[in-house]
Amino acid sequence: MHHGTDNLLLELFAIFVWAKVFGEIFERLSLPAVMGEILAGVLLGPYATGLVAPSETVFSIAEIGAVFLLFTVGLETRPQDLIRVGATSLYVALAGVIAPFALGLLYMRLSHQPIHESIFVAAAMVATSVGITARVLRDLQVLGTRTARIILGAAVFDDILGMIILALFLIFIGPRVVRRLRPRMERMSTQEAPLVLALAICLGLSVAATRIGMAAIIGAFFAGLVFADYAPEWNLNTRAQAINEFLAPFFFFTMGARLNVRVLDSSIAAAAAVITLLAIVSKIGACGLPVISEGWRAFLRVGVGMTPRGEVALIVALIWLRMNMISERAYAIVILMAAATTILAPPFLRMLYKDEIPSPPDAVEFETPAAIPQD
């Protein structure tokens, strides 16, 4: 075995095991596993203990993990359910773009920061991390609720406001194409033909999304939507989830590993705290407003569900830093804001959805066998 391959396998082993261990600990504490996986990356990553330093190859695998996470979520989201909340999701997305950007830009300018960095920080406050929210909602088994569908729809609209025609095509036309392919699936000699086709379309739409300026995870989500109506018949959920269980921990671990805790000072911490507060308040207030007529619980569920910034802000921040378009200060502020909103949202979502989380099945009670009469 080549030395490079040996090191890669060791990295994958360490990340996967530690992410799962931390996830299990958090599950036992009645907290979402995703929080444990992210914390594992923070504590064991290169900026804290340095026990695990993910390579570029691992970061690439992590991005594939995000793709398959959204693909599995799409499989569990029927297109007609998303269509029913389409208008509400669009209102939520629009509000969630305008309010955070305006507040972030205003604060940065009042703090006398350069205009380009002010715009960068304000823009980073806009995008919702659909990966984080989708994972939490899936772990809680509440993807079927109306507010969950509104959140997912709005998070998608965040990335596709300028590409709605493609979205409508995939939602309305995609299932019809699969319906026509259905008879051919039964005649194919390839084992697991439906899964092979679904994975091919998932990867294809992910590539197409990146080519037109969207996140790859949005293409993967739409691929899941295309097959959602046929997922139970072809048992796609279980098969795709097996892939997701392996890949997703790498995504969340590396998200935590990107947080550099060594660059903090009091001024950066103070600015990050204000930006984080504005990011949370603006998303909750603006995104929850379109559903306020449905009650305060719906208001808070949608608002909190739209708060995580996660991978979108992190990736954009990293690109801008590498291009020397922003300072280390602006980069640190965005990283801390993304980390805080990502870590704070899951426990609050669990509390807000506690009434709709399915109860575990009752344990099967076995009757004690009757005593055997003695002769």
What does the alpha-carbon distance between residue 316 and residue 126 come to, in Å, rounded to a whole number?
Answer: 12
Domain residue ranges of the chain, discontinuous segments joined by +: 10-257+266-352
What does the alpha-carbon distance between residue 239 and residue 197 come to, in Å, rounded to a whole number?
Answer: 13
- Banded pLDDT at 297 (limits 50, 70, 90): confident
Tell me: the pLDDT tens digits for 12-70? 999 999 999 998 998 888 666 777 888 899 899 888 888 998 888 998 898 898 888 87
pLDDT average, residue stretch 199-224: 82
CATH number of the structural domain 10-257+266-352: 1.20.1530.20
pTM: 0.65
What does the alpha-carbon distance between residue 144 and residue 353 come to, in Å, rounded to a whole number?
Answer: 12
pLDDT value at residue 84: 72
Q: Which DSSP letter does residue 265 get?
A: -
pLDDT average, residue stretch 276-301: 88
Least confident of 7-21, 208-222, 304-318: 304-318
What does the alpha-carbon distance between residue 305 and residue 154 come to, in Å, rounded to a whole number?
Answer: 10
Angle 146-160/296-305 helices, nearest 10 degrees? Answer: 40
- Banded pLDDT at 163 (limits 50, 70, 90): very low
pLDDT average, residue stretch 177-201: 75
List, as own/partner pairs, every contact residues 264-272 make where C-beta atoms lie below 8 angstroms and the sequence separation is at least 24, other chains included.
Answer: 264/332, 264/336, 268/329, 268/332, 268/333, 268/336, 269/336, 271/111, 271/329, 271/333, 272/332, 272/333, 272/336, 272/337, 272/340
For residue 143, which phi and psi values (nearest 5 degrees)? Answer: -60, -25
